[in-house]
Every structure is written in structure tokens, then in C-alpha cells.
């Protein structure tokens, strides 16, 4: 998924972040590399979980794609994180209003909540990750099958031979159908 769509939605719908919303490849770099003042949010990619192809002669496959929103809040008020967790609770409600039910692009279903967990806490900041999922479908037009089919010659006609009686190898009926050029 293009995570910039999620970042733009959060910037537009959660003014409490004060435009301090960015992206990252994963959490590991954030405590050292993050330069936003709290509160802030970072959108990261998560797992993709595909189902099996549902088409016997084409291609139709549902995929559930996940992303995380890591909320960074101040933890200077108390080192135990109690007041920071209250901020996380408030931020969750804001994230829900901004993201749940939102369709980031036409090919995606609505975003759903998938859980959350505390990632890291130090004397200055608390990092909490909210996880979301969104489904999309891979269709035949997205695959090599569409490329292959587009390279086939135009269908010009059909020749039919029928062995009517027991299969004896004798063709009892024949016909040809020619199609006009496209």
C-alpha cells in the first residue's frame, strides 16, 4: 500500500499531531532517528496475508495488508508511564475517527482495527503501536495472464467436428464459423 495516503489522512484528520506524521520502514530506527516532538505518529508497513487464488481458470486472490501507526507521546510527567498511557487512550479515539472505515484508494476495502501494543518507553517518550488492516483483491488484469492474453491473435473463427455415435473416430458432422474482423 502507498502509506503516504495514510500519512496524508492522519495529517488532515488529527490536528493534535500538528503535522508531525511521517513514515518509517520499521520501529527499530525510531527511538534514535525520530526527530518529531511529541505527540507524533509514524506509519509503518506490516504483514500481508494472501488467501489462495479463488479462480480455477483465471486469477482472483484476496489479500489482507497491514500497517501500524506508532504514536509517540511525552513520558516526562512520570517515569511509570501512567499519564502517557492516558494520552495514548485519547490518541486511539482520534486515530479511530480518522482511519476506521476510510478507503485509502479505490482498490481497497475499508480500514479495520487489528490491535495494539506498547513498543518502548523511556524517561522522555512512550511508543505505542496501533495496528490496522485493509483488504484488496488481485484480479486477472494485475497478473501475467492479462499480458499473455493481450498478445494472442484475434479470434477469427471456429472449426467444429463432431463424432456423434460411440467414439469410433468417424466425424459425422462438421461446421466452420468465421467471425468478421474487429
Q: Averaging pLDDT over each range in 73-77, 102-106, 123-127, which range is the top one? A: 102-106
42-57 pLDDT tens trace? 999 999 999 999 988 8
Give the C-alpha separation, 22 to 44, whole Å.
Answer: 9
- pLDDT value of position 136: 96
More confident residue, 107 or 168: 107
Mean pLDDT, residues 69-84 taken together: 83
Give the C-alpha separation, 107 to 103, whole Å.
Answer: 8
Mean pLDDT, residues 115-123 taken together: 89
pTM equals 0.79
Half-sphere exposure of 94 (CA within 13 A, CB side): 20
Q: Which of 40, 29, 116, 127 is nearest to 84 (CA)?
A: 127
Place of cell 511529541: 38
127-142 pLDDT tens trace? 899 999 999 999 988 8
Peptide bond into 39 cis (omega under 30): yes
Rounded to 5 degrees, φ, ψ at 85 are -65, -30
- Which residue ranges form the domains of the chain, and what is each CATH number? 3-144 (3.30.2000.10)
More confident residue, 98 or 25: 98
Amino acid at each position: 500500500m502507498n502509506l503516504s495516503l495514510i500519512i496524508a489522512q492522519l495529517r488532515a484528520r488529527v490536528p493534535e499531531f500538528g503535522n508531525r506524521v511521517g513514515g518509517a520502514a520499521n520501529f527499530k530506527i525510531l527511538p534514535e532517528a525520530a526527530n518529531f516532538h511529541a505527540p507524533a505518529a509514524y506509519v509503518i508497513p506490516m504483514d500481508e496475508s494472501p488467501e489462495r487464488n479463488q479462480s480455477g481458470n483465471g486469477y482472483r486472490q484476496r489479500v489482507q495488508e497491514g500497517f501500524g501507526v506508532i504514536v509517540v507521546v511525552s513520558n516526562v510527567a512520570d517515569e511509570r508511564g501512567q499519564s502517557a498511557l492516558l494520552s495514548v487512550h485519547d490518541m486511539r479515539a482520534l486515530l479511530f475517527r480518522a482511519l476506521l472505515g476510510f478507503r485509502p484508494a479505490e482498490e481497497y476495502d475499508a480500514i479495520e482495527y487489528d490491535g495494539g501494543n506498547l513498543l518502548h518507553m523511556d524517561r522522555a517518550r512512550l511508543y505505542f503501536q496501533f495496528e490496522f488492516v485493509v483488504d484488496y483483491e488481485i484480479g486477472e488484469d494485475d497478473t501475467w495472464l492479462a499480458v499473455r492474453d493481450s498478445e494472442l491473435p484475434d479470434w477469427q473463427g471456429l472449426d467444429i467436428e463432431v463424432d456423434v455415435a460411440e467414439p469410433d473416430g468417424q466425424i459425422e458432422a462438421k461446421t466452420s464459423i468465421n467471425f468478421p474482423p474487429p
